[in-house]
Amino acid sequence: MDRTFVMVKPDGVARGLIGKIVTRFEEKGFTIAAAKLMQLNQLEAERHYDHLRAKAFFGELVAFITSGPVFAMIVEGKDAVKNARALIGATNPLEAALGTIRGDYAMDVASNIVHGSDNDENAEREIGMYFR
């Protein structure tokens, strides 16, 4: 069984969307192998977004992801990374199809409800960061 990392971001947690998002994954056929509600500190957030450190918006990403609790999950299923990203939708909610999580719940790219690993290597890295 393939697995990936998914995180409901602070905006999704604050809006009470954890249950709806978990349900979307389960209805698609995924299994939630592990999950936890947690608060990221500055160092954890910087490590999570390390690949974007050179970008002008890095500080905003770190500030946002540490602004409230997140709900981290290990999601298992066939072609987990590809299928999860399809269910999540495009990074920019204005480009995300209706029926995707971001297409249905997010309003802007800065607060786009959920994170999903973009490839198998990052999935394993992120799982290791959050589920040691």
In the chain, domain spans: 2-130
Tell me how far apart the alpha carbons of residues 1 and 12 are, in angstroms, rounded to a whole number: 27
Tell me how far apart the alpha carbons of residues 80 and 74 are, in angstroms, rounded to a whole number: 10
| Sign of torsion over alpha carbons 95, 9, 5, 124 | positive
Q: Per-residue pLDDT for 104 more than 90?
A: yes
* From the candidate CATH numbers 3.30.70.141, 1.10.274.10, 1.10.150.20, 3.30.40.230, the one assigned to the domain spanning 2-130: 3.30.70.141
User: In the predicted model, what is the mean pLDDT of the chain?
Assistant: 96
Please give the positions annotated as active site. Answer: 115
As given in the structure block, the two tokens for residue 111 are 């607060």
Beta-bridge partners for 32: 75
Tell me how far apart the alpha carbons of residues 75 and 97 are, in angstroms, rounded to a whole number: 22
- Express each pLDDT in 59-78 by its tens digit: 999 999 999 999 999 999 99
Q: Per-residue pLDDT for 93 more than 90?
A: yes
Tell me how far apart the alpha carbons of residues 75 and 84 are, in angstroms, rounded to a whole number: 8
Q: Per-residue pLDDT for 3 more than 90?
A: yes
- Express each pLDDT in 17-64 by its tens digit: 999 999 999 999 999 999 999 999 999 999 999 999 999 999 999 999
Tell me how far apart the alpha carbons of residues 87 and 73 are, in angstroms, rounded to a whole number: 15
